A and B are shown apart, each in its own frame.
Chain A
Amino acid sequence: EVQLVQSGAEVKKPGESLKISCQTSGYIFTNFWIGWVRQLPGKGLEWMGIIYPGDSDTRYNPSFQGQVTISADNSISTAYLQWSSVKATDTAIYYCARRAAAPRLDYWGRGTLVTVSS
């Protein structure tokens, strides 16, 4: 059974660093792209970017380029989304999702709520 298990909710102050995770199981991690999706409070889904763990090829939505870093650790089948300095406007739920061979997101994590407040 394919599973994407995301790390727990985070509360950060502006300017702090943050790294959230998406641990996968039930399939060969290096064979599928993993994407990240942001959902601001009460708003819609926004595509952030994607990584192919097989060769670490990473693509970003231009709106998020330079704002976050997507990475992966193949030894523990886990993808990451990180910030070097969070802002209040980063408060949102972040989902990871597996991208199937054709470009669709077939399995999703339950989301990680990130709250940034002074």
Chain B
Amino acid sequence: QSALTQPPAASGSPGQSVTISCTGTSSNIGNNNYVSWYQQHPGKAPKLMIYDVTKRPSGVPDRFSGSKSGNTASLTVSGLQAEDEADYYCSSYTGSNNLEFGGGTKLTVL
């Protein structure tokens, strides 16, 4: 059982916005600003989409954005596109150079 809790599924129609939550504790998400989000398409390796809560790596569309409030981080995908259908995982730094992942959310584009 993951220390970071994500909804197992989320969905939206093309063009809509969807937000995926990631709830942790004061020992992980609430304790630092090192929250990341990863996208994983079936049969592929994960890809970094958001880091340090709100930052986007080069090449990631600005439709993807991140935020945090207290012990909960969120990933918002705006202007949903078919290619956004994938699994999304949040991650938080736990200290001692270790990380932990959320259980993952399957995003379906209707």
Interface positions of A (Cβ within 8 A of B): 33, 35, 37, 44-47, 49-50, 52, 57, 59, 61, 95, 97, 99-100, 102-106, 108-111
With both beta carbons as reference points, the residue of chain B lying nearest to A100 in the complex is identified as B51
- Known contacts A33-B97, A105-B38; decide if A45 and B104 are in contact (CB<8 Å): yes
Task: Report yes or no: B99 in contact with A110, Cβ–Cβ below 8 A.
Answer: no
Chain A binding surface, main DSSP class: strand
B96 contacts partner chain A, Cβ-Cβ < 8 Å: yes
Q: Which of B87-105 contact A (CB under 8 A)?
A: 87, 89, 91, 93, 96-104
* A16: min CB distance to chain B, Å: 26
Task: Report yes or no: A95 in contact with B101, Cβ–Cβ below 8 A.
Answer: no
* B7: min CB distance to chain A, Å: 13
Proximity bits, B68-98, A CB within 8 Å = 1, else 0 = 0000000000000000000101010100111
